[in-house]
Amino acid sequence: MNKITLALRMFRRNAKSIEARVLLVALLIAVMSVTTVSFFADRVESALNRQASELIAADAVVLTDKPIASKFREEAIRQNLKTAEATTFPSMVSGDQENGQGVNLAELKAITDGFPLRGKIRIADYPGATARDAVGVPAPGSVWVPEILLARIHAKVGDELRVGALKLKVAAIIIKEPDSVLDYFGIAPRVMLNMQDLAGTRLMQVGSRATYRFLLSGEPKAVEEFRQTFAGKLQRGERIEGVRDARSEVRVALERAQRFLGLAALLSVVLASVAVALAARRFSQRQMDSAAMMRCLGATQADIFSLNFIQFLVLGVAACIIGTTAGFAAQGVLAAMLSGFLTVELPAPTFVPAIQGTAIGLVLLLGFTLPPLLSLRKVSTLRVLRRDIDPFDAAATFAYVLGFATLAALIIWRAGDIKLGAIAVGGFVSALAVAALAGWLLINFAAKLRGAASGSWRYGIANMKRHAGGSLVQIMALGLGLMAMLLLTLVRTDLIAGWQNSIKPDMPNRFVINIQSDQLAEVKNYFAARKMNTPDLYPMVRGRLVEINEKPLVPTSYNDERAKRTSEREFNLSWAAKMQADNKIVAGKFWSSDTTEKQFSVEEGIAKSLGIKLDDSLTYDIAGSRFTAKVTSLRKVEWDSFKANFFVIASPGVLDNYPASYITSFHLPAGDETVVNGLVKQFPNVSVIDLTAIMNQVRTITNQVADAVSFVFMFALAAGLVVLYAAIAATQDERVFDAAIMRTLGASRKQMMVVQLAEFLAIGLLSGLIASGGSMALATVLSDKVLGVPYALNMMIPLIGVAGGGIGIALAGLLGTRKAVSTPPLVTIRGVA
Amino acid sequence: MTDTGSNSKSNFIVRVEHLTKRVSTTDAELIIVNRAHFNVESGDTIAVVGASGSGKSTLLGLMAGLDTPTEGKVFINDEDLFALNEDGRAKLRGRLVGFVFQSFQLLPSLTALENVMLPLELAGVADAASRARSILDRVGLSARVKHYPKQLSGGEQQRVAIARAFVTEPKLLFADEPTGNLDAKTGRAMIDLLFELNRERGTTLILVTHDAGLAARCGRRLTIDAGIVSTEDHQTAMAM
């Protein structure tokens, strides 16, 4: 008990020291960054779990790309399950065009009575009215739409909406529907109509991409039996989803986002660990004299250890409590930032993230304060006589290894999968190794140059070389901190600008789909009459790849998600006599226009993911009939051109006997909506997809996600600053002491400033160099692998990195040691010694 | 050493006039040095003696301009130390003063040679390395020039400190308990070295010491008791 009182008394004094504050702030940032993301992830997870049945609006759902087969209906009746149906597909809808109302692409959803079986549709009578649970489904002859659609086509509740061949009355505003988590309303707003009206719209034609849902609810046992009945018997394009796997792409996307945010949060933890290690070392060093004295007075090693450990523990627990509380507050900000993106209501978080955050705080504390504490325990009593006797303790080295191992384990745990975790750990370790190597080389190179410098400069540079170990740690820590800052500011702006610049102003911004073969000439005339370039029209036939080299395609055999998806679904095939101008052959040869041989040309990306090579034979199934042809060329496609392009193109004649619809793209100057309105009016079956709206939506979502990521990176930035501060503070005592001695020996203010400046400037420049190199390398990788846009090296980054690093660190360093310049030397020597 | 009352140009290397240092604590104000007033002639050897906590080191620090007084003046070579700013005092020290600390105060990151070179480099002396080597040789450390303070014994560290203090050939050398951290034998050797250098170079020595033997070797003695300084020459002290 006495020991605790003594430790607490010592803590009261030590808590005011710089290193105790650095330790507290570093731990606080680490705990806060992790808990912020964890609390948010926990809420999303709870929302997904709690509302799992709502997410599919049923207990189980059959999803198919063909109308629901009778076998499903029969089995549902046999199992006494409640059922409902929903068919979704995209189509153009329009208001009263004579009265200036517009057209817009919509995601139609025809539903039967009883939908949804689980959850509720929330509707309102007019924009701004109180939302209420919908009773039933839209009556025949009416639709429910979200407010955004009405705003876009300048219509209101009560107006008529043209949907295909029908005019349906807008009866209510959709506020929320159960089976949607992510908000895609901005791209194609939902239009809900009664299933009885679907046939009347005459929209279900060749090439219509509809998803059919057969919803089921009832006794869990009956639902399970329904699933069992079809286990292993489902055909291609059919799948059954239950509550357990009510996840699909939404869940995968959210999990991936959480994982990424989690790793971003870990960057702060890694940086914070550097600050903790630096501060703990300084803290222990300052305790060495008292520890030696206590040893002289009879304190055991265990006493020394526990007295100091209790102090660290108090600090750590305080950091964990404050950090967790602050993390809880900050997750609200994160949730608000992504609120436009998530439509689910997020429930309150559980306590698990608080425990995780506390665990991380304590692991950091133990991992990086134990080594200096263990050294402190071994302090020699001789130190009372000779201050320069530093203890060496092999156990402390081992503790550092343990600390790093724990940190690595932490990263792998947070990454959620061993491979990703190992990549992250490998990334951090190699970044540190490269920074260390570069730092070491640079220090030695600078030391070689010192002969050319004048007195004080030479002394400053030599000083850096003399403190090589300490300087290296400082350069690495400062480099990491600066890198975080560069990435968050310049590189982020560059990447987003680069991605936005890749969209050229005259690129096609409208896709027209669903054009029937008998409308081709009229569509061309429509554009010609408006003095617009006659767009190229490409045929599309929906088909499914079933065999490669006569071997059946097994979707589950692919590891790649995209390959799995592609092999499961139908996708569009086209044919052409000549290759599109923006395509490029990368293997084989494109056929001559008069060829009679059956051939395929495959886009290189899909060929790679599906394992298709030149000369392979591909077998397609189109509406039940099969045909086979040989791959004679592989193409590179510029998808960024926004022109209609196809993964697989067949030679002329191959697809002649199959029903086709046509697609084209064109550039519509801003504000010229009459072209689209007229087109839709003349050809009600065609759909015009507004790419500008999609791009804007994607941009909005990207910005929201980027903001959220930046928010999490702010912790890394803060941690970087703490590292900078800790790194400068780590050697401050030494510098102040050196300065006081130099002052005694007659150094002028200018000389002392120059010595300090030379050393800090050199350290700053070197860390700036490492930070610029690192952030540009990372930007190139991010740009290439994540955004798919080549990164234009911005020479301002090394310039600002090196100049900012040099000037910033020099100023910070000078501020840190200014005291020594203006204080009488004896006062400084007494204070430090 | 004589009392002084004038400011005129003199043969005095140090003149201390009504020097006072007060420190405020939470309870009261402590007077560490109380109106000290004396002169030191060039080439003198002075021992500053007194009980622990009597203010010896503070007086020495004030005389070397390492600390600032509450009141009073110190002239070194007729220059008013506290009329100068911190920078001016540093310059004056660089030119005229050497200082040896009780705990050596070598820079741990510099080798013995570099520690000795430092004041010369600061003064912009061209042949710093050869002069530093020569004085290290003089103090018997030519074999240890590349060693860091950590690698040297206490006596060796103090010899480096003495070499550092003498390398600029100062007119005035202050030493604060130069043997305080050394065993008797090493301590004696150090003192012999100090006096030899004093004779060779005509340097004025002002030493703070507890060591009666050392005090006895000095030409003059300055006693400080509860901040009050009294002076006596060696002969008087011997007679007491």
* pLDDT tens by residue, A179-219: 665 544 446 788 999 999 998 988 877 656 788 999 999 88
pLDDT band at A446 (very low <50, low <70, confident <90, very high): confident
**Which residues are CB-contacts of B226 (< 8 A; sequence separation ≥ 6)?**
B34, B54, B55
User: Which of residues 724 through 753 in chain A touch B, CB cutoff 8 A?
Assistant: 734, 738, 741-751
Looking at the domain assignment, is residue A435 inside a domain?
no
CATH number of domain containing B131: 3.40.50.300
Distance from CA of B231 to the nearest CA of A (A): 25
Q: A200 and A107 in one domain?
A: yes
How confident is the model over A431-445, as pLDDT tens digits?
Answer: 778 878 888 887 888
Looking at the domain assignment, is residue A495 inside a domain?
yes
Concatenating the DSSP letter of every residue in A468-513 gives HHHHHHHHHHHHHHHHHHHIIIIIHHHHHHHHHHTS-TTS--EEEE
pLDDT above 50: residue B4: no
The chain B residues in contact with chain A (CB within 8 A) are: 61, 64, 66-68, 86-87, 90-95, 97, 99, 101, 103, 105, 107-110, 118-119, 121-124, 149-150, 154, 164, 168, 181
Q: 3-state class of A661 per DSSP?
A: strand
Looking at the domain assignment, is residue A684 inside a domain?
no
A450-454, A656-660, A695-699: which is most confident: A656-660
Determine which of B87, B89, B158 to mutate to test the interface with A (most A C-beta atoms within 10 Å).
B87
Which pLDDT score, from 0 to 100, does residue A75 have?
93
Q: A527 and A476 in one domain?
A: no
Look at the block and give the residue holding tokens 């009885």.
A196
Which of A99-113, A497-511, B53-67, B84-98 shows the lowest mean pLDDT across its residues? A497-511
- Give the pLDDT mean for A815-826: 72
How confident is the model over B41-88, as pLDDT tens digits?
Answer: 988 899 999 988 888 888 988 998 888 899 999 999 999 999 988 888
- Give the pLDDT mean for A303-322: 89
Question: Does the beta carbon of A444 lie under 8 angstroms from any beta carbon of chain B?
Answer: no
- Looking at beta carbons, which residues of chain B come within 8 Å of A385? 181
Q: A515 and A494 in one domain?
A: no
Cα A492 from Cα A824, distance rounded (Å) = 47
Domain boundary among A242, A275, A296: A242
Amino acid in the structure at residue A275: A
Amino acid in the structure at residue A245: D
Give pairs for A4-8: CB < 8 Å, separation 24+.
A4/A310, A6/A307, A7/A306, A7/A307, A7/A308, A7/A310, A7/A311, A7/A314, A8/A310, A8/A314
A40-54, A274-288, A330-344, A785-799: which is most confident: A274-288
SS3 helix, strand, coil % of chain A, rounded to 5?
55, 15, 25
pLDDT band at A74 (very low <50, low <70, confident <90, very high): very high
Looking at the domain assignment, is residue B188 inside a domain?
yes
Distance from CA of B65 to the nearest CA of A (A): 8
Q: Do B103 and A387 touch (CB under 8 A)?
A: yes
- Looking at beta carbons, which residues of chain A come within 8 Å of B122? 455-456, 742, 745-748, 751
Looking at the domain assignment, is residue B162 inside a domain?
yes
Q: A496 and A577 in one domain?
A: no
Looking at the domain assignment, is residue B4 inside a domain?
no
Looking at the domain assignment, is residue A362 inside a domain?
no
Q: A238 and A90 in one domain?
A: yes
- Looking at beta carbons, which residues of chain B come within 8 Å of A289? none
User: Residue A570's closest CA among A511, A605, A606, A620?
Assistant: A620
Q: A709 and A773 in one domain?
A: yes
Which pLDDT score, from 0 to 100, does residue A514 have?
80
Looking at the domain assignment, is residue A87 inside a domain?
yes
Looking at the domain assignment, is residue B7 inside a domain?
no
Which pLDDT score, from 0 to 100, does residue A340 have?
63
How confident is the model over A144-187, as pLDDT tens digits?
Answer: 998 878 888 888 899 999 988 899 999 999 887 776 655 444 46
The continuous run of DSSP H or E covering B221 comes out as: strand B220-225
Of B103, B121, B168, the CB nearest to A833: B103
How confident is the model over A597-642, as pLDDT tens digits?
Answer: 889 999 888 888 888 999 999 999 887 788 899 999 999 887 666 6
Distance from CA of B124 to the nearest CA of A (A): 7
Q: A526 and A659 in one domain?
A: yes
Q: 3-state class of A434 per DSSP?
A: helix
CB B77 within 8 A of CB B204: no
pLDDT above 70: residue A513: yes
Task: Give the mean pLDDT of chain A.
Answer: 80
Q: A236 and A150 in one domain?
A: yes
pLDDT above 70: residue A736: yes
Which pLDDT score, from 0 to 100, does residue A751 have?
81
Q: A609 and A739 in one domain?
A: no
Looking at the domain assignment, is residue A514 inside a domain?
yes
Domain boundary among A193, A216, A242: A242
Looking at the domain assignment, is residue B134 inside a domain?
yes
Q: Do A386 and B154 touch (CB under 8 A)?
A: yes
Looking at the domain assignment, is residue B149 inside a domain?
yes
Residue with the bigger pLDDT between A702 and B43: it is B43
Q: Do B121 and A459 touch (CB under 8 A)?
A: yes
pLDDT band at B240 (very low <50, low <70, confident <90, very high): very low
Cα A179 from Cα A793, distance rounded (Å) = 44
Of B86, B121, B149, the CB nearest to A388: B149
Which pLDDT score, from 0 to 100, does residue A690 have?
73
Which of A524-533, A633-642, A803-812 shows the lowest mean pLDDT across its residues? A633-642
The whole domain housing B60 covers 12-234
Q: A158 and A111 in one domain?
A: yes
Looking at the domain assignment, is residue A711 inside a domain?
yes
Q: Do B90 and A738 touch (CB under 8 A)?
A: no
Looking at the domain assignment, is residue B5 inside a domain?
no
Q: Give percent of chain A above pLDDT 90.
A: 12
- Give the pLDDT mean for A392-417: 72
Q: A662 and A514 in one domain?
A: yes
Question: Does the beta carbon of A758 lie under 8 angstroms from any beta carbon of chain B?
Answer: no
Looking at the domain assignment, is residue B2 inside a domain?
no
The whole domain housing A488 covers 451-506+693-833
DSSP 8-state code for residue A348: P
Tally the domains of chain A: 3
> C-alpha angle with apex A11: A10 to A14, nearest 5 degrees?
90
Domain boundary among A199, A225, A242: A242
Which pLDDT score, from 0 to 100, does residue A185 have?
43
pLDDT above 60: residue B100: yes
- Give the pLDDT mean for A72-92: 91
Tally the domains of chain B: 1
Phi then psi dihedrals of residue B27, to 5 deg: -90, -45
Cβ-in-10-Å burial (0-12, 13-18, 19+) of A579 comes to middle
Determine which of B74, B86, B89, B111 to mutate to test the interface with A (most A C-beta atoms within 10 Å).
B86
Supply A273's token pair: 């660990």
SS3 helix, strand, coil % of chain B, rounded to 5?
40, 25, 35
Looking at the domain assignment, is residue A395 inside a domain?
no
Cα A243 from Cα A216, distance rounded (Å) = 11
Determine which of B122, B173, B181 to mutate to test the interface with A (most A C-beta atoms within 10 Å).
B122
How confident is the model over A573-600, as pLDDT tens digits?
Answer: 898 888 888 888 999 999 988 888 889 9
Q: A572 and A611 in one domain?
A: yes
Q: Give percent of chain B above pLDDT 90.
A: 27
- Looking at beta carbons, which residues of chain B come within 8 Å of A743? 86, 90
